């Protein structure tokens, strides 16, 4: 007998040259592996479309991608800011606002943790090395299926309890990071140089944000897969 799988929506990136939206297949595969039905959202800024999409989702993965425009956290564009994607911001910011009004679960990855932090009123470093000083290398060369730095999880925090460990070895492909943590988010983990790498939203049963890319590690790392299976389990409820 076939069992109905919870719908786990993936927010797409946008390629302005080809005028195409796209999602890395590794997100699709991670959701499948975790027992969810991956579902690609349209990059739409239409409020009614957004509301309909929010209703359709049982759970959500806010995916990686270009830098969020600093105006969304009340900052001016600095020289260190990377590639922007106004088309994506235009759809994803109102989508996230609408989604977060529900208590539905989410997993946010890389740009995702930055977006979530901003949606809860936090701010970002537009470039870690320029604004915070050089620490660990947070932009590792490929392959991304291996880790490159440690993360210390907050002892007895939500993620530490979920994964049953206090330390993780993670990959790292970012040059921005959370600066001031938004209200309603709890600090869950930092890289060994102090860069914030994990947050949890305290207003819902499952709202996990990580700066690394667990979708690249699910085949070999139980902790990475666990983040996705926990999202899917919560989305079933």
Residue 78 annotated in active site? no
Output 178 or 235, the one with its CB closest to Mn ion.
178
Q: Report residue 151 as tokens.
A: 């993360």
Residue nearest to Mn ion (CB): 172
Q: CA–CA separation, 223 vs 7, rounded Å?
A: 22
φ and ψ of 4, to 5 deg: -75, 130
- Check if 17 is active-site: no
Name the minimum Å distance from CB 45 to Mn ion. Answer: 31
Interaction pattern, residues 123-142, with Mn ion; x per rule: CB under 5 A: ---------------x----
Name the residue nearer to Mn ion (CB basis): 147 or 207: 147
Q: b/e per residue, 58-68, with b = 16+ CB within 10 A?
A: bbbbbbbbbbb
Rank residues 26 and 138 by Cβ distance to Mn ion and give the closer one: 138
Q: What is the rounded distance in angstroms from the CA atom of residue 17 to the CA atom of residue 210?
A: 29
> Candidates 52-60, 96-104, 114-122, 171-179 — which segment interacts with Mn ion by CB under 5 A?
171-179
Residue numbers 51-90 binding Mn ion by CB under 5 A: none
Residues 6+ apart with CB under 8 A from 122: 73, 178, 179, 180, 181, 182, 183, 185
The reply to whether 172 sits near Mn ion by the rule CB under 5 A is yes
Is 150 or 184 the residue whose CB approaches Mn ion more closely? 150
- Give me the catalytic one of 110, 174, 188, 216: 110
Tokens of 135: 């620490």
Q: Is 114 in the site for Mn ion (CB under 5 A)?
A: no
Place of tokens 């890395």: 24
Catalog residues that contact Mn ion under the rule CB under 5 A: 138, 172
Catalytic residues: 110, 213, 215
């Amino acid at each position: 007998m076939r069992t109905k799988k919870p719908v786990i929506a993936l927010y797409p990136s946008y390629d302005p040259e080809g005028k195409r939206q796209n999602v890395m297949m590794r997100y699709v595969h991670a959701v499948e592996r975790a027992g969810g039905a991956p579902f690609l959202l349209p990059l739409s800024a239409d409020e009614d479309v957004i509301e309909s999409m929010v209703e359709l989702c049982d759970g959500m993965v806010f995916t990686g991608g270009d830098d969020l425009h600093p105006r969304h956290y009340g900052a001016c564009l600095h020289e260190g800011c990377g590639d922007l994607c106004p088309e994506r911001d235009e759809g994803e910011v109102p989508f996230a606002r609408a989604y977060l009004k529900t208590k539905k679960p989410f997993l946010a990855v890389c740009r995702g943790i930055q977006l979530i932090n901003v949606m809860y009123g936090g701010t970002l470093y537009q470039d870690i090395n320029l604004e915070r000083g050089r620490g660990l290398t947070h932009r590792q060369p490929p392959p991304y299926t291996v880790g490159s730095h440690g993360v210390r999880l907050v002892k007895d925090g939500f993620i530490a309890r979920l994964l049953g460990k206090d330390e993780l070895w993670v990959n790292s492909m970012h040059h921005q990071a959370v600066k001031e943590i938004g209200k309603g988010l709890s600090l869950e983990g930092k890289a060994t140089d102090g860069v914030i790498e994990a947050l949890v939203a305290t207003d819902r049963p499952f709202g996990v944000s990580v700066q690394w890319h667990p979708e690249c590690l699910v085949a070999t790392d139980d902790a990475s897969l666990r983040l996705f299976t926990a999202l899917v389990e919560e989305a079933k409820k």
